[in-house]
Structure 1
């Protein structure tokens, strides 16, 4: 995210993504490669303004125009599944433009392709971004497609971040045996380095076609049971500051919360954010 203040009624952007593939079969280019612009309204609430509809690897464009006069704070979410080689943001000559410094104490999410952002229609629609706006806190998104596995090396990196809370949401890339092996060591690694930082453990979401597939239901049941056992062991051993998010309803109960059965749609991301919200609220002491 890039934040800035301006009184301009037109905002320009010039950026280039690292890969020529701008979209994916199950995820639009607006999410994979787009810029997503938000602004604070007069009450301080973050509101959507405009999104880039990518048509080329490098684009010079008018990101937003015809805006109401007045100075306000803006935020640009960067592409979810494409790297950014460079980004320039500008306003007409004579207008105020001030880049804002990064904020301290982010909420750190460690997870899978879902945390990464698959398959949101635009970058601001991921549950991590939604929660960042709701609580008005910075977010570090460490979602690794296919590789969110509670690894010790990632844990070591997490300990370097002075986080407001850690959210561990790796089960979609794991099985029960891996959860049993890795969860307790990861939590103890974090707690040894950050004794007072809240840690939120999240169960696996259920694939939206699991209602019709016994093998998927068993996989989710086993994953949940393994995480619950790890959580209970940690609590029994006296590890403080833990909370536990059940996964059965993360996508809702109507099978409409995913794009492909596994990865969240915008609807699924909003439902996840709603379920995460009370746990994060408690962790942040709000």
Structure 2
């Protein structure tokens, strides 16, 4: 019995010893996201030296060089739109190099790196694509943000050879500086933003990019690659409402196509009140630019929610009525995308019923692509 008693005590002591070590595990977990890769010798290239694609409004003054909206928009658009315009969604930088390793050094505007429905990689990360020997854009690597100041390796050990790269900026954060790091002996060629007229998207959090897993997986980015065309992303989470003040900004862009995709932030009454004036505002300034009106996607669980389905039905009907009235008034160059198939019909393409997953964004791109090709076709 005495031996048994000592054995019990020994087991308890051992158990206590094990529990005493357990607090170390969270510390290891807290550091798990940080890159421990030693930094090699690097030459740093500031992207301000050659410019961002997807950055509209030319050389108009900005409060921050990376803002999506010009300084003149402050006080004219709503406060929410102005603040959301500080996110870098849709912007990218292009360059060529023969480097076998690529780093990034950037300063984010906000310490909140992620949101409940957007990963830190998507909200605050950089997303690198490379052009393969067949001329196709292929994913290459991402940063994994762990603080406002991110200085990380994106990819290493690449096969040698000169190739072109495209680096997407964060969806749901702003940037104050961005440098690309390459070995000092690597060749480097900046690729200036293309001068072709862009596809301009005005929309909601879905256009903004929620809930893609990374910046290159939004439908606007996918379509930019598929159509080989610059894209301007003016998605404003919760605040894409066909506002005339945003229309004043849209007409300052020399667009190839305007895509108006605001219904997820509107009800039927607002659609009837605001759609026709916005289209006429665009058409008065840009008589020949195609305008694509997009119906609301259906929430993927709306089959269970009668009131939600009624909301979608009413929104769709209101937009169709606006389309018919505009055509009856002789407004030309209008195109229309129904919403029921935007996320498919199996309920598997959203993170929260509303915002697309990567699958949802691919499906949306599939629906947009033929209509945008028709809009871009030579007349």
Q: TM-score with structure 2 length normalisation?
A: 0.74
Picking from 201, 219, 243, the partner of 2:293 is: 201
Aligned to 1:34: 125
Picking from 356, 367, 379, the partner of 1:264 is: 356
Aligned to 1:43: 134
**Structure 1 residue 226 displacement after superposition:** 0.4
- Structure 1 residue runs of 4+, over 2 Å off? none
Q: Over aligned residue pairs, what C-alpha RMSD do you find?
A: 0.9
**Structure 1 residue 94 displacement after superposition:** 2.1
Task: Give runs of aligned pairs for residues 1-286 of structure 1, distance below 5 A.
Answer: 1-104=92-195, 105-285=197-377
**Structure 1 residue 23 displacement after superposition:** 1.1
Distance in structure 1 (CA, Å) of the matches to 2:171 and 2:234: 12
1:108 alignment partner, SS class: strand
**Structure 1 residue 71 displacement after superposition:** 1.0
Distance in structure 2 (CA, Å) of the matches to 1:93 and 1:26: 39
Gaps of 5+ in 1: none
Q: TM-score with structure 1 length normalisation?
A: 0.98
Distance in structure 2 (CA, Å) of the matches to 1:33 and 1:90: 18
Distance in structure 2 (CA, Å) of the matches to 1:159 and 1:64: 39
**Structure 1 residue 90 displacement after superposition:** 2.0
**Structure 1 residue 56 displacement after superposition:** 1.7
Distance in structure 2 (CA, Å) of the matches to 1:167 and 1:196: 14
**Structure 1 residue 195 displacement after superposition:** 0.9
**Structure 1 residue 141 displacement after superposition:** 0.2
Distance in structure 1 (CA, Å) of the matches to 2:98 and 2:334: 43
CA contact (8 A) 2:143 2:153 kept: no
Distance in structure 2 (CA, Å) of the matches to 1:149 and 1:157: 14
Deviations 1:176-202 (A, max 9, x none): 011001111111111111111111000
Distance in structure 1 (CA, Å) of the matches to 2:153 and 2:222: 25
2:224 alignment partner, SS class: helix
Query: What is the number of residues matched between the two proteins?
Result: 286
CA contact (8 A) 2:107 2:149 kept: yes
**Structure 1 residue 235 displacement after superposition:** 1.1
**Structure 1 residue 209 displacement after superposition:** 1.2
Gaps of 5+ in 2: 1-91
Distance in structure 2 (CA, Å) of the matches to 1:53 and 1:253: 33
CA contact (8 A) 2:100 2:157 kept: yes
Q: Which has the higher strand share?
A: 1
Which stretch of the first structure deviates more once superposed, 220-229 or 53-62? Answer: 53-62
**Structure 1 residue 41 displacement after superposition:** 1.0
- Larger radius of gyration between Structure 1 and Structure 2: 2
